[in-house]
Chains A and B, each alone.
Chain A
Amino acid sequence: MKIKNLYIEEDVLKDEKAIRIQKKLRYENKIICKNYREVFNPKNQNFRIQKKEPSVILAKKKRNLILEAPKKFNIGFSENYYFSHMLNCIYDCNYCFLQGMFNSAHYVIFVNYDDFLLNIKDKLNNSSNNICFFSGYDCDSLALEDITGFIEYFVEKFVKLNNVTLEIRSKSTNIKSIKKYHPSNKIIPAFSLNPENSITLHEQNTPKLINRINAIKELQNLGWNIGIRFDPFIWYGEISKMSIFFEELFKSINKNRIHSVTIGNFRMTNSYLKRMVKINPTDPYILEKQIFQILPSKNDDTEIKIRNIKEKISEFIDDSKIFIN
């Protein structure tokens, strides 16, 4: 992979994983930093300019390795956490909250996977519940697998643990790393989907819908149960035609090998949205979303009520498997 600059924390200069990752990257300059935050956190950076030519930062995550998932972030487990081996993503979805949350578009890769695992085990030791860990919250879990080796490290570790489930959420079709393993109920590969015209308009550089469906089918044929994620679900056109979209989708995949379906709308805090408008001043979609927030009298007609979507999906999938996020 070709990147602009490689930033590397002093602490991981001799780290084996960091050295392995460096060998897979082609970069112009290697710049040593004390802490990834020096590069990643400063204010008044332009996420959009960086996104066109991102750099990689190799770092060690020292605090808050495992975080409690937001209350609504749920696929049927009573205890939910998320962790991020990476910050930011190679895709460029204009609705993505990461643009509002992070000051920088550079890819931070945390190389201390062993520390993440220790913290996961710690959570398991202190609970009697079956715990779900989400891995694709601040990044795409699969897209950079060839560089990060995330799946290669975590899948076999999770399979050996008890009372645990790992959701690997992605828009990527890079499934060869998952195919190496025997299907396990403890691992849920989950794919974010949208109609093809919404993908074209909103999800730059991501795989086409048909390719994502093919990846799902391939894993299902191998015995994997798959998560389907409509989060956010963006629909253009007549509501009546939405059923046809879901019908075609669920006809093309194995409904018996679906672990869960989640649905969500575009949702963003005011402060994130304000920042997204600042760095995306010429994107009408983002500006319109902000206008809907500051001018409540102007209704957002593009937001279809979640319960309508759920209703349509429940024609094909058992209600108990559908979750509103």
Chain B
Amino acid sequence: MIHIITATNSEAKFFINYLKLKRISSIKEFQIYFNDKFSLTVSGIGKVNSAVAVCSTYHELGKIKNNCWINIGIAGHLNSFIGELFIINKIIDNSSLINFYPYSPNISKIKQLSCTTYEKADSKYNDSLSDMELSGFFQTANKYSFKELIHSLKVVSDNKENPFNYKENTGIEKLFEAKKNYFYAFFEKVISIWSENIANDKIIDEKTNNLLSKIKTTQSEHEQIKKLLKLAYLKKKKIETNIFASESDPKIILSILKKIL
């Protein structure tokens, strides 16, 4: 699953419609929308909000490790034109001066740039994009997922010649819509990285957990059986899964598995 985090409703609106997401009405703290492949959470402005939104999304949606996380939002830049889309390859936290380096997959025709996360809106503009969420998002998502599965896309909303107008946020949806094809290509790339590297393990994990749920074990027996079952699947050894239905003694199951392997 890809979890998208945006700061505001106006940044979220395009994706809610484009991906046909439905709101989870039982969750009150944040607006969380989802379908079978994506979730989208509106975090509110600021890095603390963004961090808490990641944390809530993780816990509300099944505490699944190593899903994909993407922060998508608008950002200011010195001279890039309004509507230009960037993949972020370096995050600078302006308060702590700690830098982070997302994996930033290369997608043709999407340029890469750094983004500086500020505590307050930055009106000075420089050669790094500026936002108010990304460092908080990235640090928190990295607790739940590999760095290579965490990304950020920024669309330039303002520059030195066209400073940000807080009263006029109706155009934001159109800025995102204009980049629809690029977002699609990016999502495809992110899903392919996940499928090639993470998906198989999750399938095996599910199979082993299903079998293990049928017997009572100590923690140590659970770990040992899980590892042996996984090895059996990886080595494509035939396991009589009905032993888990007929045999409840984990010690006997362990010894059967050791014999098979």
Docked-complex contact B227 and A45, CB < 8 angstroms: no
Judged by a CB distance under 8 angstroms, whether A126 is at the interface is no
Judged by a CB distance under 8 angstroms, whether A200 is at the interface is no
Contacts A44-B146, A45-B147 given; indicate if A284 touches B101 (C-beta within 8 A). no
Contact of A284 among B89, B201, B235 (CB under 8 A): B235
Docked-complex contact A5 and B146, CB < 8 angstroms: no
Looking across the interface, which residue of chain A has its beta carbon closest to that of B112?
A: A29
- Kindly supply a per-residue 1/0 record for chain B positions 220-261, scoring 1 wherever the CB is within 8 Å of any chain A CB and 0 otherwise: 000110011011001100000000000000000000001001
Judged by a CB distance under 8 angstroms, whether B142 is at the interface is yes
Judged by a CB distance under 8 angstroms, whether B197 is at the interface is yes
Contacts A31-B101, A287-B230 given; indicate if A48 touches B197 (C-beta within 8 A). yes
- Kindly supply a per-residue 1/0 record for chain A positions 276-293, scoring 1 wherever the CB is within 8 Å of any chain B CB and 0 otherwise: 000001111001101100
Docked-complex contact B234 and A284, CB < 8 angstroms: yes
Q: How many Å from the CB of A54 to the closest CB on chain B?
A: 11
How many residue-residue contacts, CB under 8 A, span A and B?
Answer: 77
Most buried by A among B89, B112, B146, B193: B146
Q: How far is the CA of A283 from the CA of B104 in the complex (A)?
A: 26
Contacts A38-B101, A46-B197 given; indicate if A287 touches B231 (C-beta within 8 A). yes
Q: How many Å from the CB of A287 to the closest CB on chain B?
A: 5
Cβ contacts under 8 Å, B145 to chain A: 44
Cβ contacts under 8 Å, A297 to chain B: 258
Docked-complex contact A282 and B201, CB < 8 angstroms: yes
Docked-complex contact B261 and A298, CB < 8 angstroms: yes
Docked-complex contact B197 and A295, CB < 8 angstroms: no
Contacts A29-B89, A291-B227, A294-B224 given; indicate if A39 touches B101 (C-beta within 8 A). yes
Q: Size range of the interface on B? A: 20 to 34
Looking across the interface, which residue of chain B has its beta carbon closest to that of A43?
A: B142
Docked-complex contact A282 and B99, CB < 8 angstroms: no
Cβ contacts under 8 Å, B235 to chain A: 284
Docked-complex contact A49 and B227, CB < 8 angstroms: no
Q: How many Å from the CB of B21 to the closest CB on chain A?
A: 27
Looking across the interface, which residue of chain B has its beta carbon closest to that of A48?
A: B197
Q: How many Å from the CB of B116 to the closest CB on chain A?
A: 14
Docked-complex contact A28 and B112, CB < 8 angstroms: yes
Cβ contacts under 8 Å, A42 to chain B: 100-101, 142, 147
Docked-complex contact B104 and A5, CB < 8 angstroms: yes
Q: How far is the CA of A118 from the CA of B143 in the complex (A)?
A: 41
Contact of B224 among A52, A281, A295 (CB under 8 A): A295
Q: How far is the CA of A224 from the CA of B124 in the complex (A)?
A: 63
Q: Size range of the interface on A? A: 20 to 34
Docked-complex contact B231 and A49, CB < 8 angstroms: no
Docked-complex contact A282 and B200, CB < 8 angstroms: yes
Judged by a CB distance under 8 angstroms, whether B118 is at the interface is no
Q: How many Å from the CB of B56 to the closest CB on chain A?
A: 20
Q: How far is the CA of A169 from the CA of B61 in the complex (A)?
A: 49
| Residues of chain A in range 1-19 having any CB-CB distance to chain B below 8 Å | 4-5, 7
Cβ contacts under 8 Å, B261 to chain A: 298
Docked-complex contact A28 and B106, CB < 8 angstroms: yes
- Kindly supply a per-residue 1/0 record for chain B positions 77-89, scoring 1 wherever the CB is within 8 Å of any chain A CB and 0 otherwise: 0000000000001
Q: How many Å from the CB of B26 to the closest CB on chain A?
A: 30
Looking across the interface, which residue of chain B has its beta carbon closest to that of A282?
A: B200
Docked-complex contact B101 and A44, CB < 8 angstroms: no
Most buried by A among B89, B114, B196: B89
Cβ contacts under 8 Å, B103 to chain A: 49-50
Cβ contacts under 8 Å, A28 to chain B: 106, 112
Contacts A46-B148, A49-B146, A50-B148 given; indicate if A33 touches B231 (C-beta within 8 A). no
Q: How far is the CA of A29 from the CA of B193 in the complex (A)?
A: 20
- Kindly supply a per-residue 1/0 record for chain B positions 169-198, scoring 1 wherever the CB is within 8 Å of any chain A CB and 0 otherwise: 000000000000000000000000100110
Cβ contacts under 8 Å, A121 to chain B: none
Contact of B148 among A34, A49, A288 (CB under 8 A): A49
| Residues of chain A in range 275-325 having any CB-CB distance to chain B below 8 Å | 281-284, 287-288, 290-291, 294-295, 297-298
Cβ contacts under 8 Å, B204 to chain A: 281-282
Cβ contacts under 8 Å, A44 to chain B: 142-143, 145-147
Q: How many Å from the CB of A34 to the closest CB on chain B?
A: 7
Contact of B231 among A29, A45, A284 (CB under 8 A): A284
| Residues of chain B in range 56-106 having any CB-CB distance to chain A below 8 Å | 89-90, 99-101, 103-104, 106
Looking across the interface, which residue of chain A has its beta carbon closest to that of B194?
A: A49
Besides A29-B112, A295-B258, 16 more A-B contacts (Cβ < 8 Å) are: A5-B89, A29-B104, A31-B89, A42-B100, A42-B147, A44-B145, A44-B147, A45-B146, A49-B148, A281-B201, A282-B201, A284-B231, A287-B227, A287-B234, A291-B231, A295-B224
Would you list 8 pairs from A and B whose C-beta atoms are within 8 A, ordered by A residue? A5-B104, A46-B148, A46-B149, A50-B103, A52-B196, A288-B231, A291-B227, A291-B231
Instruction: List the 6 shortest-distance A-B pairs measured between CB atoms, nearest first.
Output: A281-B201, A46-B146, A284-B234, A49-B148, A45-B147, A46-B148
